[in-house]
Structure 1
Amino acid sequence: MASLTSPFVSPILLLLASNVFMTVAWYGHLKFKAAPLVTVVLVSWGIAFFEYCLAVPANRIGHAVYSAAELKTIQEVITLLVFAVFSVVVLKEQLSWNHAIGFALIAAGAFFIFQGRTA
């Protein structure tokens, strides 16, 4: 089993954490529609700072073992998973069959990105 500090595992964990911050920064303000736009922009920027503090090291560490395209694919799949949970739990929005099909197509794309991987 790979260690949590492995260059194969740690980028995934860092990207997972960064995507939680990103999702809160991008979509959390939707729960506060009465707040002034300038306020939610500034708060979102503050939250996004922590996302970058995790995403940049994730990509730096991960590029030792993953291609840039693979890292981006990992990030996008994590983003969808985090967003889906956030959307249902925080925003109380339902996911439907068309969301499931769209996510499945993205998962198929991710599958093809990793085909032919030499490492």
Structure 2
Amino acid sequence: MNIDVTKLDTVCDAAQPWQLGSQEGATPIMQGIIELHNDICHFLFLILGFVSRMLVRALWLFPFPSGLPNKWIVHGTTLELLRTILPSIIPMFIAIPSFALLYSLDEIVDPILTIKAIGHQWYR
């Protein structure tokens, strides 16, 4: 039987040299972990983009030549509410799928075969 070594990476699911990301999950739990990782990365990049855009806009639009900040930015009630509520909502969007994955890990499957291995530590 001849095996083409150049096509071996399509046959075997193993990590590749300089691979970015995870290899494909063999179980539904691992697939859930990979999907959760991808979802969290999407949230991370959305937050990073939003914060970067707001920082650039604030530096571009409000250079404060007189040294005094705008009173609507410093003492705005609506802005203070948004600064408080939005950062508390974002972790809830991340926590809901992670709790679902955590509870799916606790699922007990009735095994067909159980192996009990007993080992003894060997001392000098």
> Which structure's relative contact order is higher, taking Cα pairs within 8 Å and 6+ residues apart?
1
Q: Work out which of the two has the higher radius of gyration on C-alpha atoms and give 1 or 2.
A: 2
* Normalised TM-score (structure 1): 0.30
